[in-house]
Amino acid sequence: MKKTVFAALLGLASSIAFAQMSPVGLWRTIDDETKTEKSLVRITESGGVLTGKVEKIADPAKANANCDKCTDERKDKPVLGMTILRGVKPSSEAGTWEGGDILDPNNGKIYKVRMKPIDGGKQMEVRGFIGVALLGRTQTWARVE
C-alpha cells in the first residue's frame, strides 16, 4: 500500500514539474530594453499548438490602444484581447517551442518566435527573430500563474 501511495505522489509531483516547464499559463512580459512590465499574456494550448493573447496592459495610458501599425487582420484592432502569439509547437529540442510567430503591437512587426521556459518554469525566454534565431532579440517573461 505504501509503495502505491508513494508511486502516485511521485507521478503527481513529476506531472506538476512538467506542467511548470510548459509555456501554458499567464506571463508578465518584460520589455528587454527598459526592464519594465508591459503586459500580461495568457498562453493556451489547443491540439498541440500554442496561442497567446494580451490579457492586461500595464500602462493605463495604453490600455485602450489599437494596433495602428499592424499590417494584417489585426490592423486598428484593440491590443487588449489581441492574439499576439500563434502557431507555436514543441520543437525537436527538448523544452523548446517554436514554429509560429509573435506580433510586436508597438511597431506592428511580426517575427518568428522561439520560447524556452527556464528557472524551473518560473521564467521564459521569448526570442523574436527574422530569418534565423541569431537575428533577433530576447525578452524574459515571468510566470504569474
CATH of 2-143 among 2.40.128.520, 3.10.129.10, 2.60.200.20, 3.40.30.110: 2.40.128.520
**C-alpha 37, offset from chain centre:** 14
Give the pLDDT mean for 14-41.
79
pTM of the model: 0.83
CA atoms of 83 and 92, how far apart (whole Å):
25
Which of the two residues, 39 and 145, has the higher pLDDT score? 39
Contact 117, 21 (CB under 8 A): yes
Q: Tell which wins on pLDDT, 11 or 43.
A: 43
Residue 18 has pLDDT above 90, yes or no: no
Of residues 12 and 117, more confidently modeled: 117
For residue 8, pLDDT over 50 is answered with: no
Ranges of each domain in the chain: 2-143
Q: Could you give the 3-state DSSP secondary structure of residue 98? A: strand
